[in-house]
Each structure stands twice: as C-alpha cells, then as structure tokens.
Structure 1
Amino acid sequence: MSFNNPSREEIGRLLKQAGSIAVVGLSDKSDRTSYMVAYALQKKGYRIIPVNPTASGKVILGETCYASLQDVPEPIDIVNVFRRSEFCAEVARDAVAIGANVLWLQQGIISDEAATIAEEHGLIVIMDRCIKVEDAILN
C-alpha cells in the first residue's frame, strides 16, 4: 500500500471542523508528550477527550478519562493515537465502530494495517504527523 497523508489544506480543514478529539493513550502525567500535546490543543480551543484504560475514571486536563472509544458518550471527530504501531489496527477498528471521521497516528507512528482498516470504512487517515505541530503551522 502506498500511503499519502492528506494535503496541508485538507488537514487544516479537518482541524477547523473538529468538534472533539479523542486522545487514545493520553497520560495523566504532565511530563508525557501525549499530555503536553493534548494540553496545547485544549488551550487552542479543541475539545479533548482522554482515552486510556489505565487512567479510566480519572480526570485529565479537566475531562473524564474513558477506558475505550466505545465508552465515550458523545460523538468524536478525530481519534488521535499515542500508542505503538502494533496496537493501531485495534484502535482503527474502534474508530470505525464509533463513527469517527479521522484516524490520526502521531509522529513516529505508522501502521499500514490501521490505515487500510480506517480508509476501507471511509475515515481519513493521517500518519506520522504531530497534530499540535500541524495545528500550529496551519493556524
């Protein structure tokens, strides 16, 4: 599979339209990259929804953390993933199941299997890009 990320213009449009961003693998530790990225996005006005089974029920960045995407009681536009590549196919299946619009694998994360699963079900896929950096470049 020859994967190409959407254009910068398309990524900018997706970010502008995002009502909620579920951050899968969001840590409750403020020194972790997932926390710093989610914090920065939240400060820019994005609605962040933490998803992490080990922190389920905790409050992270003022938001209740859920064990899985299926446990989130509201629609999710972007599923932003901070998990190792071998776990991304499962996250892609979950993103499809909840009707997300975008599967976004953070910088350094590449999974052709996850991309195929998501794209076959109509999701837009972004891989190996930092959502915070893209937002800063485009906004």
Structure 2
Amino acid sequence: MNHDAYPDYYLADILRETKTIALVGASPNPERPSHRVMAFLLRKGYRVIPINPGHVGKSIQGQAVVGRLADIKEPIDMVDVFRAADALPALVDEILALETLPKAIWGQLSVRHDGAAAKAEAAGIKVVMDRCPAIEYPRLIG
C-alpha cells in the first residue's frame, strides 16, 4: 500500500466496516485531540474502548479505560493510535499477539512508520497513517 495517498474507497470501507475501536493513547483531558476524536467517534455510533495505562479503572467519555490491548475481552475492528510514530513498531507487535486481529490500524496525524505498517499488512491488517477519522468520516461518509 502506498501510504502517501489513500483511495477514498479504502478509507471509507474501513470507516463503514468498523464497529469497535480501541483508542490507544486516550486522554481524559478535553483539550487533547484524542479526547475530542473519541467524542466524535462515539457520536457516530462506534464502540470506543480507551487505552491508557495511567487511567486504568477510570472512565473517559463514559467508557471504561483499559491498560493495554490484551485487556480487551471482545474482538476489535480497528486500533486508532494516538502515540508517537516511534511507538508504532512495538504496538504492531502487541496487535499481532492478539488472539483475534483487528481489521485495521489507523495512525493519527503525524503517526507514520512504514516498517511497522508493512509488518501489519503482511499479517492481513489494513493500515492508514497520518490521517484522522474525525476528518475523513465527514469528508467521505457525511
């Protein structure tokens, strides 16, 4: 996949097929982009599971926070990543260790690591990087 430009259908298909999202790097701070994007995704009807090891047992946007992907007890369709790009390789390894793989990994704005993307894609996972679903959803779906 060319991660410099995505066909609209590729992004739209991911957004339409996704029901459950694990949001890595979720923040309880309303000023943080992850907080605002999580609110947007919830308003659009997605189930969003916030992941933040520093806030386990608390809630963000009314959703129970877990510490890591392996703590989620249900299949997830997409992992939305609000972490530094250099954290993506280790996160892909964590994703590949899950019993059920997600259909997609979505790296937020500035989150891009081509090696990590290639590894995920080799396992059959769709990858989007340096994009925001809260920008792409209104543009592609309405």
TM-score of the aligned structures, taking structure 2 as reference length: 0.92
> Where in structure 1 do 4 or more consecutive aligned residues deviate above 3 Å?
1-6
Select 1:106's aligned residue among 102, 105, 108: 108
Residue type of the alignment partner of 2:29:
K
Structure 2 CA distance, aligned partners of 1:102 and 1:131?
12
What is the deviation of 1:59?
0.8
Q: Deviations over 1:29-60 (max 9, x none)?
A: 11110000110111111111101111111111
Q: How does 1:16-95 map to 2 (within 5 A)?
A: 16-95=16-95
What is the deviation of 1:93?
1.5
Structure 1 CA distance, aligned partners of 2:125 and 2:49?
19
Q: CA RMSD in A?
A: 1.5
Q: How many residues align?
A: 139
Contact 2:120–2:126 (CA<8 Å) still a contact in 1? yes
What is the deviation of 1:86?
1.0
Structure 2 runs not aligned, ≥5 long: none
Aligned partner of 1:12 in structure 2 is: 12
Moved more, 94-103 or 16-25: 94-103
Q: Percent identity?
A: 35
